[in-house]
Each structure stands twice: as structure tokens, then as C-alpha cells.
């Protein structure tokens, strides 16, 4: 009897340890992130990259992007859309059996609902400019119609999208985060609480908890159409960058960003050098000149500022060589990027001569507007401020709160600012048309009213042949930055981040968005 009792106790102990071990092995990805600006997860109400990448955990667009290459593939569709001969109609078929988190099936009705909600003026979506080639969008936005005429459900799984004009990159538009598909019934039922109490999608994780500006928790969706993922939960906790680094060092989080100025600190530390990861983005940091405001309405003045900008030194000193100077508005990886272009010239003496020719023998004074809480941008301007003195350019740095900065920029009231722009989709039109077309002159504070450029940008949207597109946009970019000096490219951004030893497979993509869901935890 005694031996039997001992055997039973051993079995109970083993069982307890096994069960306890299984509970302890729950895989939780812990992310330290600044969530102070994240008040709502509704992708239609935000322009923040953080919301884009977080919402993508829960919701999905019709098309997907390969993690490494950003190549397009059908995500919710059975195949790439069929396109009519005139390039105006896209015929799409949904995969059958895809479930939303509430158990309902994805149908064409949900797609039609999402696109209508996206353009509905009552939604006040911040990203409609990305898809205004869809027929009926302009009339709907202007409240001239009560729905989007360019989308139609054929049956439960088939629908069509119609365009005003052929647009060669339209399939890529279907992969942008702001067009992630929402379930009609659930979204309507949630009303104003959508993105707060409720967020339902077809993605690999369900929203468990959202505490605005503080904490977000997701749990695995076992019925995900792409197969259940590895993490049981993903937890985002609000913390500034310095706190995140301390929490990472303490082993309390698995992932956080690290500023370029601090990268060497970790690379030089044998305990952390293998935890540092990096990614060069398909993006650009560039100076924006407002041609509506003197003296930037003078082409020679704009050229002088470009000549007075020492990009090489900015990258080598302020960024400690962790980013590289830009020589084009189009980043590498975008058709039209010209590898053979020489670096943009730095010549302060020539800049002074141009200012004299422009009628400013004593130099100029210009004002850069910047969010006062953005240390990166303030620091860049302080470096440029010193550089410009060599060319008789006095730079004033106007620090305002972020809301005021957004308002000034979006109403054409900033003289000079730095724009950081990342690929929403892999096409040069996303950069040149959206940044420089006259339709964006107020929104982007460019004051660029150039009928020649507008006509060429609209012509470029029709080009399908890749070789023709490469030549066309290389010439168009040259016109913008080396003839008209509409903008002055500064540098190509790179992201640096710390990944814990127990984490594998998680990457920061070239489009500035983390691919959180495809990693795993190895204890």
C-alpha cells in the first residue's frame, strides 16, 4: 500500500509539473511601443503607421504583400483580379469559407460595405486620396451621390471595381492597410464604438483588450484561413523609447525600436550586439519648399537651399553613418529610381551666388516648422541651421505642438518642413503624384502649380510596360528635383530595432511596418 501511495504521489507530481509547464509555455510576444497617439484602431480614422501595422494583425486587405520583397499576392482573393481590355474594370473573386472573428463568412457584401465606408464623407477617412481613381469616389466624397458607384457585388463571392481611367498600379492599391475589409453587420452594430470596444477582421489575431494610449492585447484566431499562427497572444504596452530600452534590457519585452544615435551603444556591447536588427526602407526624407511663400517662389532660391544642404555630413555625423544620403525622391525599389544619378551637389559658395542672382545679395531668412516634441526632426533642423550659415541663409526653427503642425502643413501654411514618406504601394505614382501634383499643393504645403508636371503625372498613371515606366519616371523625378527643385531629398531612412533572444522570424518590412504575426518564440 505504501509503495502504491508513493507511486500515486509521483504521478500526481509529474502531472502537476506537466500542466504547470504547459501553462508557463504560453507564447506571448511583448512589444514596447509609443501608444500615446493611438486613440482608435479604426484604420479609416488614422494616418499613423502604428495603427496601420497594429490593425493588420486583426484585419486584412484583398491583396497581400510578401514580407521580404513586398511583391503582391492574392490574400482574400482566389487570384489576381481579371482586368478588362480597356483597363477600367477589375473582376474579383473572394476565397470561399474565410471567417471573420465572430464566425461569419466574408462575402462580397462586406467588401462593398468597406469601400463605401472608406469614401463616405461621414466617415472622414484620412486616406481617401490613395484610391480616388475608383469611379464615383469624387461624387460620393462631394455628397453628390449616396454611395460608391465604382463597386458592385455580382454574387456572394464575386464583385467588380470600376475606375475613371486606366491605372496600372491599381492592384497594388488593393493591398493598402486603409482598405482592410470590415464585416458589414458587426461594424454597423458597433457604430461609433468600432475601433474602440470592437474591431473584427479576418486576420490571424483577435482584439482582446484596447486601452487607448496605454495597452493593446491580441489573442490567436484558431480558425484563421491562413492557418493558426505561433504566438498565443501579442501584447503592446505604451512606453517611450528610453523606457522601452530599459524594459528590453530587463527582459520584460521582446521588441522595441532603437534610435540611430544609440545603435552603436548596443552594437558595441557583446551582450546585445546580436539583438540589433535593421532594415532600409522604401521611403524618403525630403525638404518640402512652399512655392506660395516668398522667397521660395524663386527657383534659384530653392536650388540654393539644396546646394547649401550637406547631406553627406548630416548622415555621417548626426546619424552616425546609419542612414545614407538621398539623391532622388524615388527610393531604391521603386520603378523610376535611377542608380546612375550623381549625388546631389553640396556647394555653399555656389548657393550664395544663386541668392545674389535671385535678388538677395545679403542672403535670406527662412522658417522651418517642426513638431516641438519630435527630437529627431528638431535635431536635423539644428544641423541644417548650422550648415546654412555658410551660404548666407538664416534658418529659424519654429517649434509648435503636433496638432498645430499638422494643421499648418495641411493648409499650405508652412514655408519649409521635412516630410518622411514611405511606400503605401510599390509604384512611383505613390510618391510623385501624391507629393507633387497640384491637387496636393495645399495638403502637402508645396504650392506646386505646374501644368506640365500635372499632365505628365497623369500620363504616367497609364503606363503598364515596366521598361517604359522606368524611363518615364526617372525623367520626371529629374525634372522635379534637379530642374524645378520642387523638393530637396535628404536621406534614405533605415530602421533599427532590438529583438530578444527568445524571438525568431519577426521582421520590420521595407514599407516601415512590422510583420508581427509570422514569428515564433523559442524558450
Mean pLDDT of 295-305: 97
Residue 310 scores a pLDDT above 80: yes
Final residue of a structural domain among 170, 193, 216: 193
Confidence at residue 9, expressed as pLDDT on a 0 to 100 scale:
41
Confidence at residue 24, expressed as pLDDT on a 0 to 100 scale:
54
Those residues whose C-beta lies under 8 Å from the C-beta of residue 363, and which sit 6 or more positions away, are 352, 355, 391, 392, 393, 394
Confidence at residue 126, expressed as pLDDT on a 0 to 100 scale:
84
> Same domain for 307 and 226?
no
pLDDT tens, residue by residue, 124-156 = 998 898 899 999 999 999 999 999 999 999 999
Tell me which DSSP letter residue 298 carries.
Answer: S
Confidence at residue 361, expressed as pLDDT on a 0 to 100 scale:
96
The answer to whether residue 453 is domain-embedded is yes
**What residue spans of 437-499 are helical by DSSP H?**
451-460, 466-478
Expressed in angstroms, the distance from the first to the final Cα of the chain is 40
Mean pLDDT of the chain: 92
Identify the band that residue 37 occupies on the pLDDT scale cut at 50, 70 and 90: confident
Residue 1 scores a pLDDT above 80: no
Domain count, the chain: 3
> Same domain for 499 and 400?
no
**What residue spans of 268-328 are helical by DSSP H?**
299-307, 311-313
Residue 330 scores a pLDDT above 70: yes
Q: In terms of C-beta density within 10 A (0-12 exposed, 13-18 middle, 19 or more buried), how is residue 401 classed?
A: exposed
The answer to whether residue 50 is domain-embedded is no
**What is the CATH number for 74?**
3.90.76.10
Identify the band that residue 423 occupies on the pLDDT scale cut at 50, 70 and 90: confident
Tell me which DSSP letter residue 64 carries.
Answer: E
> Same domain for 185 and 117?
yes
The answer to whether residue 82 is domain-embedded is yes
> Same domain for 292 and 150?
no
Confidence at residue 439, expressed as pLDDT on a 0 to 100 scale:
86
**What is the CATH number for 221?**
3.40.190.10
> Same domain for 429 and 325?
yes
* Domain containing residue 131: 60-193
pLDDT tens, residue by residue, 167-226 = 989 999 999 999 999 999 999 999 999 999 999 999 999 999 999 999 999 999 999 999
CB atoms near residue 341 (< 10 Å):
15
- Cis amide leading into 457 (omega within 30): no
**What is the CATH number for 335?**
3.10.105.10
Tell me which DSSP letter residue 318 carries.
Answer: I
> Same domain for 299 and 436?
yes
pLDDT tens, residue by residue, 388-412 = 999 999 999 999 998 888 888 888 8
User: Which has the higher per-residue pLDDT, 198 or 464?
Assistant: 198
> Same domain for 449 and 366?
yes
**What residue spans of 308-374 are helical by DSSP H?**
311-313, 348-357
Identify the band that residue 434 occupies on the pLDDT scale cut at 50, 70 and 90: confident
Final residue of a structural domain among 139, 167, 193: 193
> Same domain for 358 and 483?
yes
Residue 482 near residue 307, CB atoms below 8 Å: no
> Same domain for 74 and 113?
yes
The answer to whether residue 52 is domain-embedded is no
Q: Distance (Å, rounded) from C-alpha 372 to C-alpha 343? A: 31
Residue 13 near residue 27, CB atoms below 8 Å: no
How far does CA 521 lie from the centroid of its chain?
Answer: 26
Residue 289 near residue 296, CB atoms below 8 Å: yes
The answer to whether residue 39 is domain-embedded is no
Mean pLDDT of 53-77: 94
The answer to whether residue 457 is domain-embedded is yes
Those residues whose C-beta lies under 8 Å from the C-beta of residue 207, and which sit 6 or more positions away, are 41, 58, 101, 198, 199, 200, 216, 217, 218
How much is the pTM?
0.85
The answer to whether residue 171 is domain-embedded is yes
> Same domain for 330 and 240?
no
The answer to whether residue 44 is domain-embedded is no
Three-state SS for 458? helix
Amino acid at each position: 500500500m505504501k509503495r502504491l501511495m508513493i507511486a500515486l504521489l509521483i504521478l500526481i507530481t509529474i502531472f502537476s509539473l506537466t500542466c504547470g509547464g504547459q501553462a508557463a509555455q504560453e507564447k506571448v510576444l511583448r512589444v514596447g511601443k509609443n501608444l500615446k497617439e493611438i486613440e482608435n484602431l479604426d484604420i479609416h480614422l488614422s494616418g499613423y503607421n502604428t495603427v496601420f501595422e497594429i490593425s493588420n494583425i486583426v484585419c486584412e486587405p484583398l491583396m497581400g504583400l510578401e514580407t521580404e520583397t513586398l511583391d503582391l499576392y492574392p490574400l482574400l482573393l482566389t487570384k489576381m483580379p481579371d482586368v478588362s481590355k480597356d483597363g477600367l474594370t477589375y473582376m474579383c473573386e473572394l476565397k470561399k469559407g474565410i471567417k471573420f472573428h465572430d464566425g461569419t463568412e466574408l462575402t462580397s457584401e462586406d467588401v462593398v460595405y468597406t469601400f463605401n465606408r472608406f469614401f463616405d464623407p461621414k466617415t472622414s477617412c484620412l486616406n481617401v486620396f490613395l484610391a480616388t481613381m475608383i469611379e464615383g469616389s469624387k461624387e460620393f466624397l462631394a455628397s453628390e451621390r449616396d454611395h460608391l458607384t465604382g463597386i458592385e457585388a455580382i454574387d456572394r463571392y464575386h464583385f467588380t471595381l470600376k475606375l475613371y481611367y486606366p491605372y496600372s498600379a491599381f492592384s497594388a492599391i488593393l493591398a493598402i492597410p486603409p482598405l482592410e475589409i470590415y464585416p458589414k453587420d458587426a461594424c454597423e452594430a458597433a457604430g461609433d464604438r468600432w475601433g474602440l470596444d470592437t474591431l473584427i477582421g479576418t486576420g490571424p489575431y483577435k482584439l482582446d483588450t484596447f486601452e487607448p494610449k496605454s495597452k493593446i492585447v491580441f489573442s490567436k484566431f484558431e480558425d484563421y484561413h491562413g492557418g493558426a499562427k505561433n504566438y498565443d497572444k501579442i501584447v503592446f504596452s505604451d512606453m517611450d523609447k528610453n523606457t522601452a530600452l530599459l524594459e528590453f534590457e530587463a527582459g520584460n519585452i521582446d521588441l522595441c525600436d532603437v534610435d540611430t544615435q544609440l545603435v552603436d551603444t548596443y552594437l558595441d556591447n557583446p551582450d546585445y550586439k546580436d539583438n540589433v536588427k535593421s532594415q532600409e526602407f522604401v521611403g524618403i526624407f525630403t525638404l518640402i519648399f512652399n512655392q506660395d511663400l516668398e522667397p521660395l517662389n524663386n527657383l534659384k532660391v530653392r536650388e540654393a537651399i539644396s546646394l547649401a544642404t550637406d547631406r553627406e555630413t548630416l548622415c555621417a555625423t548626426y546619424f552616425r553613418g546609419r542612414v545614407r544620403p538621398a539623391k532622388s525622391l524615388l527610393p531604391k525599389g521603386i520603378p523610376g529610381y535611377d542608380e546612375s544619378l550623381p549625388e546631389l551637389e553640396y556647394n555653399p559658395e555656389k548657393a550664395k551666388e544663386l541668392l545674389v542672382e535671385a535678388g538677395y545679395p545679403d542672403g535670406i531668412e527662412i522658417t522651418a516648422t517642426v513638431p516641438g516634441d519630435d527630437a529627431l526632426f528638431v535635431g536635423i533642423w539644428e544641423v541644417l541651421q548650422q550648415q546654412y550659415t555658410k551660404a548666407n541663409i538664416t534658418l529659424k526653427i519654429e517649434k509648435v505642438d503636433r496638432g498645430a503642425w499638422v494643421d499648418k502643413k495641411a493648409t499650405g501654411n508652412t514655408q519649409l518642413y521635412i516630410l518622411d514618406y514611405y511606400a503605401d504601394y510599390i509604384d512611383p505614382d505613390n510618391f510623385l503624384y501624391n507629393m507633387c501634383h497640384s491637387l496636393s499643393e495645399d495638403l502637402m504645403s508645396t504650392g506646386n502649380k505646374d501644368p506640365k508636371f500635372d499632365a505628365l503625372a497623369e500620363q504616367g498613371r497609364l503606363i503598364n510596360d515596366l521598361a517604359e515606366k522606368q524611363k518615364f519616371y526617372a525623367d520626371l523625378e529629374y525634372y522635379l528635383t534637379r530642374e524645378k527643385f520642387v523638393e530637396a531629398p535628404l536621406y534614405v531612412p533605415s530602421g533599427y530595432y532590438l529583438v530578444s533572444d527568445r524571438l525568431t522570424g519577426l521582421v520590420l518590412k521595407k514599407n516601415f511596418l512590422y510583420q508581427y504575426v509570422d514569428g515564433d518564440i523559442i524558450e
